Every structure is written in C-alpha cells, then in structure tokens.
Chains A and B, each alone.
Chain A
C-alpha cells in the first residue's frame, strides 16, 4: 500500500486530506509541522509528501529543502498546498525541491486526481 505523509498545522485540513486519501486506499501518516514531519519521514520511508507551507516551528519550504537532503527522499514526489496563487511561494517551494503544488481551496476529488496522477 502506498504511504503518504500529510503535513498541515490545521487539524481540519489534515483530517480532510487524510480521510480522503485513506478512503481511496492509501496509507496516511499525519504531522502537524515540519519538525514532526521530518522525524516521521526519517522513521519510515513514505511514497509521497503533501505539505502545507505556513506552519509553526518549521515551515513547508524548509521541510522540503530538508527532505531533499535525505538520500531516501531525493526523488520522492513532494506536493505543497498553497493558497497563494502569486508566484513567490510556488517559486520558493520549487527551488527548495518541491515536485508540484495543489492550490487551496481544493475538494477531495481534485486532491485524489492530483495524487493518482503523481503516484501513477
């Protein structure tokens, strides 16, 4: 079963993402900020990371950068959730090593479509 790590400081978003992915048959691990996500990603290799950008302790951008330095996450798809349609954040995320993004607000169907596109 493919395992996805979802990172968001907002419990409702995390729950929505996690529930949607689980009901589509993915295994899901949750983390509430970058620090927690990084330690969970180290404990267990996941097939994909979906992260929010604005988070306390460690934000999404530095999480992405940190994950990319780990050998086992060199090529793992990392999607960022972003409400900013302005390019700054996307650009920062891309240069940190993000694979792509999902623009908030999104509904469960859009999320699943994107995820299945990436995971094949």
Chain B
C-alpha cells in the first residue's frame, strides 16, 4: 500500500522551524561549562526530531547534516563534553545553516552544498577533538560473524527463550512464523523443561525449539528475525552441512550460544582544544534569516480545545435558532417575552461565538519576541556594546495579523535602542552605570488593547540635539517653544534622524516616521517616555483585534459616528460656567482640575444639519488618546454596540480623523472616529485659524 509522504511535508516544516527556534533560543541562553539538563535536552530533542522527520520524509541531506549537529549535542548532553564558547558559536551557525536547508527544501530550491559542507566540517572539527566519543553514535560495526554468512543449503537453529520472554511482549510463535516465511521449516519442540501442572506458571515460557530451516537463506536474515529477542533467549545458528558433519561423528555438541561482541569505545579522551573555527561566517546572517522567517505562514495551529468550544457554541446557536424558528411560525403577542429572551440568548451566543473565533486568531506575542534575543546578541557584538535583553509577558496573546505587522516596527525600535540608546561600556562606566546595558521587552493587556514596551537604560533622548536637528531640517522654527513631549515626538517626523551618522544598524532608510505610520495603520499609537541619562521607553498601544470593535454610536446632525469604547472616559452635559474661550486656542471645558480642549465634530466634518451649535444644548464625550484628553461635542449619544470594522482605505481612501467604517443594523454606513487622529486634526485647524485670524 502506498502512502503519499508529501502530505506530511507541511507539518514537518512547520514543526522543524519551531524546533529551530527552540534550538536557537536555547543556545543563546547557554553558558559555557556544563549546561542545565532540561535546557540541553530540549535542544537535543529538537535536533533529534528534525533529523528523524527529515529522514522519514525524504530529505536525506538535512537528516545527514542534523546527524552531526545531534552528535555534538549528545556529547554535551551526556556530559562527555564541556561547552566551549566556540561550540555555541558553531552550533548557532549550524542552526542557521539547517534553517536555510529546510527553507530550500520547502521552496523546492537546491541546497547550497558548499555552505553545508563548510558547516559540516566545522562540526566535524569540533567532534574530532573528542574522537573517542564519536564512535559511540556511529552505526555499530558489523557483527563479527562466527560462521560465514554464505548461502548454504540451510541452517539449524536451537532456540531456547528465557522463561520471562513474554514480559517483553515477544512471542516465540511470531519468530517461528517469520522463519517459516524464509524457507522450509521443520519444527521440533523440546518440552523437557515443562514443569508439573501444579507448578506451571502460564506467564512463563518453558519450551525450547530445534528448528531446521532449509533453503538458500542468509545468516543475517535469520539474525534479523531474532534481533528483538537477542537478549531474551539462548540461540545457536549453525549451517546444516556442519550439523550433518557433526552428526556423522555421532556427536551432538551443545551449540555455543550466539555471542555478540561489541567494541565498546574507550573512555572519553580529555577535552582536546577544539580546532579554531573561522569567525568570518558571522552570526549576523541570522538577521537576514529572521527577516526571511517573517514570511507570513498561511496556516495556524489551533488548540483542539478551542475548536471543541466552537462546536459547542455552534450547537447552542442552532438550538436558539430552532427555538426562534418555532416561535416565528406561530407567533402571538402573548409570546413576546419568549421572543425577547430568545433574542437575548441569540445575542449572547453570537458574541461568545465571535469571541471564540477571534480567539483562534490569537497567538502569543512570543512568536515575535523569540527572534529578538538573537538579534540583540548579534547587534551588540557588532557594536561592541554589552547588552542584556529581558523579555516578559511573552504569553500575552494578540491577533495574528497584528503580530505579523508589529514585528518590523519592533525590530526597528530595538535596533534604535541598541544603537542610539545604550552607550558603549566606557561611556556607561563614566556615567556611573553598570557596563552591561539593559533592554526590556514587555507586553501586557490593558483594557481592550495590548501594550508593548521597549525600554532601555541608555542615555535617553537628548532634547537639545532633537531641537537643533529639527530646526536644521526645517521641521520647526528656531526659537519655537515646545513642551518636552512635543520635542520628543519630533523624532517621529518624516526625515528625522538623531544619529550623527547613519549607521548600518539602525539607519536603513527607514525612520521612526515609518514605525509610527505602521503602528497607526494597525489602529494603534506609540508614546515615548524618556529621561536624559536614564533611558527611554517606547510604548506601543495596539487594539487586540483588527476586525471587531466595541463602539459607542453618537449622532451629529443626520450623521452617525462610532467612538471606540476604549477611548471614552465619560460623557457629560456642560453647564455654561464650565466653558472657557481662550484667544487663539479655541474652546476648553473645565472638568474637575483639568482644562480640556473641545472638538466640535460638526466643524471638523463640516456637518450643516447639526441640531445646535450651543455647547450647552448638546453632549460632550470626554475621550483619551495619544497621551491627551479632549471633549467631543456631539448632538446625542445613541447606544453601545459591537461593530465590524471595514477598511475605508481599501474601499475609498484614507480620511484624516476616521479609522474605518462599519455597517449598522439598519444598513447605513457609520464612520469610526480615530481619536488620536482627530486631536491632531483639531490642533492643526486651530493653528491654521490662529494664523489666519491673529
């Protein structure tokens, strides 16, 4: 029966790439010396699985290469080898090489033989340093044949199973059956050892057999049949010719049991100095690999529990639907209450179902975080800085699409922290800091959004340098007074770079403006906290999912808008004494101890049908976004509901202040407000108006 092996390729590659990541992060954590047991075991297991799978699924070169890798890991695992820094280096490079081989196999490209060969040699060089051990894992040498393997007219086999042979799950009958398939078998059972019935233990074997196998059979074929029970029986195999010859001399010598001599390798040789490996094959290649690895996989693996939960919910939904169906067939007003409770149920199930479906798309952010230890390691080596990367909250889950798109901005931010944030060891010592800088990656949920923070304990943002550069680039007027926050935000302006010269680490033609743009296109925002000399923190706030949003519907004239619920702090009706008008700065409202700018939505969106322009006759929705608050002046607040986000950009074009659109229950389209965008827009408008009407 033919089984098509290729159907398992996809899962094999998926699993192997995961294995590579385990190996890589394990190796990065590994300290020279004797590694932690669980750590090395995990790395070994990953290599072992890749080797086994590659061999079985038809990728022999991958399997062969991994064998060397595995052998080295096994030496470390078994304690025969203490880990040298060069070992980690070579192992990491081999992992890279293996990754490239696998990617080549996956894409159906040819493997770069020359490169594989180079890495294989590096591995072998390390292995040969402790040559005595290597043999241990090489295939055992052929058994020394007691008698020639040559084809004879047949064999005599004396087979005496040990009494406990059944305990290994082996059955002498199976062996005899198999022998029977090899040639003509004559079976004689020796019942001489059978005890009396009262002493008989049915779980033990008391029989032995004298088997004569006639035909042209190789000795190795017979030995193969007995391979599993070698140690569970006494056995002698002799050519029939020899037996007959012995019989002629009317002597039947007891056949010597088949002995298998195995050359046991000598005790491990002392750790010879591993031969130097050319460091020129730099680790930084991993970086390009990392990028290559970001190609979005089209499938995700889902926990079966999540699927079971879905099936459950669909079941509930079907029940509710049929209940409502029945109700609809014979509806009378007295059953209104039943109808309402049915609809409530329907709503609950729909919401649960939706949450579960969204849940399937949720992946832990470790998918992105996992690649950073290597990147930080490579870059810090290149820059001659000492950096420790701390990662926390890697189990925080977020939407797969968001994960995929947040990777690039994060890479950029970390590069920036490494390049511009963290100082050189000398500078750090002079500043009274530890020579090793720290970069911290953290992720956590807050409300309906996820926060990802990249912080460093480096030099912080230099406000003066930023201002000078901004003036030089014509981003601001010389002498313009900016708040510290506004100053820091300048680094997000297009065409801004604080580095004295563009280095190949962070300067790749992509500026912070692109980072911000990418994050905003995900519906998120980015905030800087920085203290000069102490470090900076970049906080990225992202919505959990891009598809659905909890919104508050508001009315402005004939138009309906959606305000994301997460942005809303409160809604109030203003009394006249709360309102202040400031020259050139528009209107503000006094709320407790704060003065908040008021944004008149009807002005921003130019809506003529507005009910009243009197601030006191409408409502103000106080919202928060991008580190600030403001009040949105609206006609009325309608209700809360979940809305499905449709991209406005894809269907129309990007509109400032609007993050998307949705379709309401009555079929009409409502626009979803982009709060940070609105605040920006309103600042611009008030600045323009203050210029126009000084």
Interface set of A (CB-CB < 8 Å, partner B): 9-13, 15-16, 19-20, 23-24, 52, 54-56, 68, 74-78, 81, 83-88, 94, 97-101, 104-109, 112, 117-118, 120
Contacts and interface: CB of A to CB of B under 8 A. Distances in A.
A9 B49 CA distance: 8
B228 A99 contact: yes
Interface in B37-51: 41-42, 44-45, 48-49, 51
A75 B167 contact: yes
Contacts of A54: 44-45, 48-49
B684 interface: no
B164 to A, nearest CB: 10
B56 A104 contact: yes
Given A85-B140, A86-B137, A99 B168 contact: yes
B227 interface: yes
A100 B48 CA distance: 20
Contacts of B276: none
Nearest to B173: A120
A1 B1 CA distance: 19
A102 to B, nearest CB: 10
A9 B22 CA distance: 14
Nearest to B227: A100
Contacts of A94: 168, 231
B448 interface: no
Contacts of A109: 1-3
A88 B7 CA distance: 33
Nearest to B225: A117
B51 A83 contact: yes
Contacts of B42: 56
Contacts of A106: 56
Nearest to A106: B56
A83 B1 CA distance: 24
Contacts of A19: 3, 7-8
22 contacts: A10-B52, A12-B11, A15-B8, A19-B3, A19-B7, A56-B45, A68-B167, A74-B166, A75-B166, A83-B55, A84-B137, A86-B137, A86-B138, A94-B168, A97-B168, A99-B170, A104-B55, A105-B52, A105-B55, A109-B1, A109-B2, A120-B177
B15 A76 contact: no
A104 B60 CA distance: 12
B510 to A, nearest CB: 37
Given A87-B262, A104-B56, A105-B54, 16 more contacts: A12-B12, A13-B56, A16-B56, A19-B7, A68-B167, A74-B166, A75-B203, A85-B139, A86-B136, A88-B136, A100-B170, A105-B56, A107-B5, A107-B56, A117-B174, A120-B177
Given A12-B8, A15-B8, A104 B45 contact: no
A104 B11 CA distance: 18
Contacts of A97: 167-169
Contacts of A104: 52, 55-56
B94 interface: no
A78 B174 CA distance: 14
Contact of A108 (B5, B54, B140, B174): B5
Nearest to B60: A105
Contact of B52 (A13, A85, A86, A112): A13
B2 to A, nearest CB: 8
A77 to B, nearest CB: 4
Interface residues of B, number: 41
A75 B167 CA distance: 5
A18 to B, nearest CB: 10
B226 to A, nearest CB: 11
Nearest to B70: A83
Interface string B259-302: 00010000000000000000000000000000000000000000
B477 interface: no
Nearest to A84: B137
Nearest to A94: B231
A12 B54 CA distance: 10
A81 to B, nearest CB: 7
B57 interface: yes
Given A12-B11, A107-B5, A117 B178 contact: yes
Contacts of B227: 100
Contacts of B137: 84, 86
10 tightest Cβ-Cβ pairs between the two chains A and B = A105-B55, A99-B169, A100-B228, A108-B3, A12-B12, A105-B56, A10-B49, A77-B169, A104-B52, A12-B11
Contacts of A11: 11, 15
Contacts of B7: 19
A52 B57 CA distance: 16
A94 B178 CA distance: 21
B63 interface: yes
Contacts of A85: 139-140
Contacts of B1: 23-24, 108-109, 112
